[in-house]
Amino acid sequence: MTLAPPRLWLDGGRVRHAIGADTISNDLADWIAEDLVAPGLIGPSEFEAVFVEAVLAVDADPAVAWTAFYRNTLAALGRGEGAGTNAGMAPVHARAVELAVGPHVVELGCCFGFLSLRLARAGFRVTAVDLVPGTARLLGSVAPRLLAEAATRPDEMRNSRRWDAELAATRCGTRGGTGRGTGGGTGRGTGRGTGRGTGRRTGVQRAGTPGTVTALAGDACAVPLADGAADTVFAVHLLEHLPPALAPVVLAEMLRVARRRAVVAVPFEDEPNPTWGHVRTFDLAALDALGAATGCPYAVAEFHGGWLVVDA
């Protein structure tokens, strides 16, 4: 059996790679984890710096390098095929779009903002919030061009339909639940939802007409937005990065900002993965407890990880 050569390696203490502008994408996270972290060549604390260095090595012009990174990632998310980070997140993004209601949505802990761009591509007006000012500035700089390009290619950035049956089953509760939750769900939580949440996108532009992305720096524990500033507020793959005591704080902020709905999505892991910066794990019971503590109608579901949907 011939092993494939590593995509990244160390040379004199410097990280090197042969990844070109045509292939650089967010799957870089998996490549760094496999080629550098797993064999002990770098530690988890070095992951972020190595990631940025690898992207910037693609082109002498940082704007060209980052734009290629975004374009390739969005295309991969749209295809939703294969393995790796992009393939794993594609169905998560598809479900998030299904759950968004109202024309204005907020994403907390947006990181590079791929979900925010997907939501904007679906016609929503998006405010993307991240703790790191540089990350927010990067998203703000690339979003107008990427959304303008998407307007000329209506099928680009659109997920394949491979999850339609799963999504429909989750909405209807046919995967073993009652379907009484907000926006559907497996019913494996309490089933205390009111049935008011349909998961339909209301008040958004027609598909193919992009919305907008406004990126700003802010803490999910003290969101720099007014009460009721948005219709739906998302925290997708954020809470696993925070100590357990902060989860209800973030959810309270989400419900303060949301007029209609707060949506939480988390991965299910046996142990927190330090390479990704995870510090805690979740299961359906933990999500159920978090929802029950709000005193609002809510539902939990399992779909490529765990979901908590709270109707404000």
Distance CA 261, CA 233 (A): 6
pLDDT value at residue 192:
34
Q: Can you list the residues of the chain whose pLDDT is less than 50?
A: 156-157, 159-160, 172-203, 205-207
Six-digit token pair at 107?
């994403």
- Residue 284 near residue 306, CB atoms below 8 Å: yes
Instruction: Output the pLDDT for position 5.
Output: 82
Last residue of a domain, one of 45, 79, 113: 79
Residues 215 and 266 in one domain: yes
Say if 158 falls within a structural domain. yes
What are 27-48's pLDDT values in tens digits? Answer: 999 999 999 999 999 999 999 9
What pLDDT does 129 receive? 98
The count of structural domains within the chain is 2
Same domain, 144 and 112: yes
Whether 157 and 113 share a structural domain: yes
Residues 54 and 146 in one domain: no
What pLDDT shows up at residue 188?
29
Out of 79, 108, 132, a domain closes at 79
pLDDT at 145: 94
189, 95: one domain = yes
The pLDDT of residue 4 is: 73
Residue 181 is given by DSSP the state: S
| Domain closes at, from 51, 79, 107 | 79
The answer to whether position 200 is within a domain reads yes
Q: What is the DSSP string of 63-111?
A: HHHHHHHHHHHHHHHHHT-SSSHHHHHHHHHHHHHHH--SSEEEEES-T
In whole angstroms, what is the distance from residue 177 CA to residue 299 CA? 11
Give the pLDDT of residue 165: 56
187 and 302 housed in the same domain: yes
Q: What is the domain extent for residue 141? A: 85-311
Residue 44 lies in a domain: yes
